[in-house]
């Protein structure tokens, strides 16, 4: 086994002191590199990705290694039991996107979360075995490697095996996440997984994951078959049977990721590359940017009342379209061309009033009262050849379904909640859906994940993405506006306070201390309802600066994110 083991302090010393090509971090920017950059949500995963790049791997190799490492060090969202999307831009300008989103099991049914009276059974699609879709992450990484990988597969998985077997220390963020989920861990698991602890988890606690190390070793040695066939597949099927879930060995063997044509749009001279459905994020982002094109946000002022009002009005209309039209295009005729037609969006946004809020009920009927939290993760990588990749990956909710596969050591997702379990009924993020996103066997559930690559004058400019459930789309939207309209450094663009609105509930979520008291009063006078939150989204991005150097954008104020360049 070829194991990469890079202590964090050594990597920091290496990056900032030893390499002649490294430029030290500046106060107003993130880390800067001349050749390559990697930004992920956990320092140890970033170290692993750096090691792969320095070993001669490309951006895709590094991304695969990061994905597996996050399944160890960031169990609330990093995963082998979930899925996601990848947007890739090669050094020659070729753009590709890979859909490794989870799928509904073959025995899933449209009304599987409803009681005899047609009412939604509370929590059934959110925690426990029945909430899980067929995982896509391992198959996705294998597919990426088959098409673009340079280093041997085993070299990319072995760092994660090492982390799981030899242990690592918890960050404060992950310790708190584990503590907050104890009740669900106990409720849905028939045994006591390692995450269950009588006393609180604390920053600095060392965790060892022997079962996960064994699972990863099988994947290291057998590729995708080490997960979708044999021992691990049997463990998943047995876990499902014991808890009333639906995933079978047949479901696992049948799973395949899909290469999809990227969607492309423009914004004020920049080209935007995004995911097609079942990502709703790509279409929604391009619609938002079309609507924003006619506004001078810089003149309005960053996070001014007028800017937030306009942004909110755009978002309400786009999210109403999301609820009505979007789903898995393999199962439902999603009107992509219409939704991205400039004439359609000009008409769609024509009802926006300059000084008055439009109630969501006036856009489309419905009612939602809450938006719950999510744990997804995004990472961005650019290698020395100029290849770039952005991957957004998730278990959906925090630790997914809370089910850890016995003897397998990994969590299963709760992505079935991303379907419309009943038309007009919101999921955990307050998102409404209809027929387009109804449950069907082997269908992929709609997602808000929005990995995005931006070009300027035909060259790479920005790789970005975020976790955050329904707030992912608006977080990426704001990141792009901050960089392009407000000409911020990536560091400042990410640290800037955020706001979010969607079709329903009829409220603007705003990060604390994001706007002035005067702006609060003005927005309320316009008819907006405001709700303040500690944080929205967690960007990990990379910006190509005018001189060709790369600025890393870790969202360190809101997470454990860490970027390294060389």
| Residues with a known catalytic role | 376
Helix, strand, coil share of the chain (percent; to 5):
35, 15, 45
Strands 499-500 and 206-207 come out as: unpaired
What dihedral do alpha carbons 299, 303, 306, 310 form, nearest 10°?
100
DSSP secondary structure, 365-432, as one string: -----------EEEEEEE-TTS-EEEEEEE-SSTTTTSPBPTTT--BPP-GGGGSBSSTT---TTS--
Number of Cβ within a 10 Å radius of residue 158: 22
Bridge partner list, 553: 541
- The closest alpha carbon to 284, from 495, 475, 414, 424, belongs to 475
- Tokens standing for residue 562: 């860490």
Buried b (16+ CB within 10 A) or exposed e, 35-48: bbbbbbbbbbbbbb
d(CA 71, CA 411): 9
501 with 508: CB under 8 angstroms?
yes
- Sign of the Cα pseudo-torsion (520, 524, 525, 526, in order): positive
Angle value at C-alpha 311, between 310 and 314, nearest 5 degrees = 85
Question: Which single residue is written with the structure tokens 């030899």?
Answer: 166
Mapped onto helix, strand or coil, the DSSP state of residue 123 is coil
Question: Which single residue is written with the structure tokens 């899909």?
Answer: 258
């Amino acid at each position: 086994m070829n194991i990469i083991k890079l202590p964090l302090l050594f990597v920091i010393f290496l990056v900032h002191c030893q390499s002649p090509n490294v430029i030290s971090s500046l106060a107003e920017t993130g880390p800067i590199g001349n050749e390559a950059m990697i930004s992920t949500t956990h320092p140890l995963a970033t170290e692993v990705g750096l090691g792969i790049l320095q070993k001669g791997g490309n951006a895709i190799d590094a991304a695969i290694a990061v994905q597996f490492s996050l399944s160890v060090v960031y169990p609330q969202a990093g995963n082998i039991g979930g899925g996601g999307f990848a947007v890739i831009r090669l050094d020659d300008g070729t753009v590709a996107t890979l859909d490794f989103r989870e799928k509904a099991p073959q025995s899933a049914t449209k009304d599987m979360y409803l009681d005899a009276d047609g009412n939604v059974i509370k929590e059934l699609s959110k925690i426990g075995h029945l909430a899980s879709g067929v995982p896509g992450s391992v198959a996705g990484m294998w597919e990426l490697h088959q098409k673009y990988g340079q280093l041997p597969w085993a070299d990319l998985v072995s760092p994660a095996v090492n982390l799981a077997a030899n242990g690592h220390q918890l960050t404060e963020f992950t310790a708190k996440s584990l503590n907050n989920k104890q009740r669900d861990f106990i409720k849905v698991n028939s045994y006591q997984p390692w995450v269950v602890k009588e006393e609180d988890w604390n920053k600095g606690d060392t965790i060892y994951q022997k079962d996960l190390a064994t699972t990863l070793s099988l994947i290291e040695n057998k590729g995708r078959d080490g997960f979708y066939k044999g021992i691990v597949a049997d463990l998943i099927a047995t876990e499902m049977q014991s808890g009333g879930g639906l995933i079978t060995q047949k479901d696992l063997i049948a799973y395949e990721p899909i290469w999809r044509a990227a969607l492309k749009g423009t914004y004020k001279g920049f080209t935007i590359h995004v995911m097609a459905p079942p990502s709703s994020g790509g279409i929604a982002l391009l619609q938002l940017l079309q609507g924003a094109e006619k506004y001078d946000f810089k003149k309005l002022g960053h996070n001014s009342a007028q800017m937030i009002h306009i942004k909110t009005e755009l978002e309400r209309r786009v999210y109403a379209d999301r609820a009505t039209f979007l789903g898995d295009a393999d199962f439902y005729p999603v009107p992509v061309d219409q939704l991205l037609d400039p004439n359609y969006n000009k008409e769609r946004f024509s009802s926006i009033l300059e000084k008055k809020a439009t109630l969501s009920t006036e856009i489309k009927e419905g009612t939602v009262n809450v938006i719950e939290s999510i744990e997804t993760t995004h990472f961005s990588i650019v290698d020395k050849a100029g290849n770039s990749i952005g991957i957004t990956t998730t278990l959906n909710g925090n630790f997914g379904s809370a089910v850890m596969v016995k003897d397998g050591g990994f969590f299963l997702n709760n992505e079935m909640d991303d379907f419309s379990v009943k038309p007009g009924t919101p999921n955990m993020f307050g998102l409404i859906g209809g027929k387009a996103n109804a449950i069907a066997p082997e269908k992929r559930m709609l997602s808000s994940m929005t990995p995005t690559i931006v070009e300027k004058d035909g060259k790479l400019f920005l790789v970005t993405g975020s976790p955050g459930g329904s707030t992912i789309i608006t977080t990426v939207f704001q990141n792009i506006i901050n960089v392009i309209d407000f000409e911020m450094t990536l560091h400042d663009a990410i640290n800037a306070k955020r706001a979010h609105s969607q079709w329903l509930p009829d409220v603007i979520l705003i990060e604390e201390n994001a706007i002035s008291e005067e702006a609060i009063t003005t927005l309320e006078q316009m008819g907006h309802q405001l709700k303040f939150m500690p944080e929205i989204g967690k960007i990990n991005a990379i910006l190509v600066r005018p001189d060709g150097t790369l600025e890393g954008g870790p969202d360190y104020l809101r997470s454990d994110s860490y970027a390294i360049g060389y």
